[in-house]
Structure 1
Amino acid sequence: MVSGDVPAVMELERLGHSHPWSEAVFEDCFKANYRCRVLEIEGAIQGYTVVSYLADEAHLMNICVHPGQRGQGVGAFLLNAVVREARREACTQMILEVRASNEAAARLYLRSGFDEIGRRKGYYPGVSGREDALVMALRFT
């Protein structure tokens, strides 16, 4: 991902998330300890990931797939790519949070070897109040 991708990423973010990140948040992710990637299919951005790195840990901050591409393995492809990259960076684990109501994403993470290690109460804004996040981890060692 480069700065010029942000408008297209923002459109995808609005399509994919009930409470999208702002443009400023994406721009703030262009730092040395972040890896921001896009997936283009036929010249259009159809998915992206944002991972932060701290010491020996990778934190999957955001992953999004265009609604028209869901159910076709794009999410698994993106997830596998960031896991491979974190392993190459000598991380010991990858962690993430996922909305408790996002059963499809939680299933993808479990199929990919992640374990649920906790819950953050009221972590996400929701339509009618706050929503819990499941905290998941994939340990590499």
Structure 2
Amino acid sequence: MAKDANKTVETAADVEAFLARVEPEERQADGRAVTALMARLSGEPPAMWGPSIIGFGRYHYRYDSGREGDSCRIGFSPRKAELVFYLAGLDDADFATLGKHRRGKGCLYVKRLSAIDMAVLEALIVKSLTYMDEAYPR
């Protein structure tokens, strides 16, 4: 792999087989619920990106530095400790009523879906999809 090659690329791995291996059981159930939600909102089927990210849709990016590649428009990873959502175009205020969570650069971390307001999560996903459609038209 070239030094600047993207490490997270779409694969042919089976999403359901991946979800069947997720632990603990609650994270597996949450992963299935998020998969269904993101598929419904995006209109895209789930696909594995790398070994552990479930992504929906695809876009091509090109930075001013010249680096470019493809990534999923939205996605998440049901990690053992928490769910990690990959969303873009969101402001601090968007998270005010979500519930228990933490954030990093471009990531939203949630321990369990039962600890957050699912209507707020849905609104975050919709806003991220709208941002991606504007920033990276299909």
Q: Comparing both structures, which one devotes a greater share of its residues to strand?
A: 1
Q: Is TM-score (shorter-chain normalized) higher than 0.5?
A: no
TM-score band w.r.t. shorter chain: 0.3 to 0.5
- TM-score in terms of structure 2 length: 0.35
Q: Which structure has the higher relative contact order (CA within 8 Å, separation 6+)? A: 2
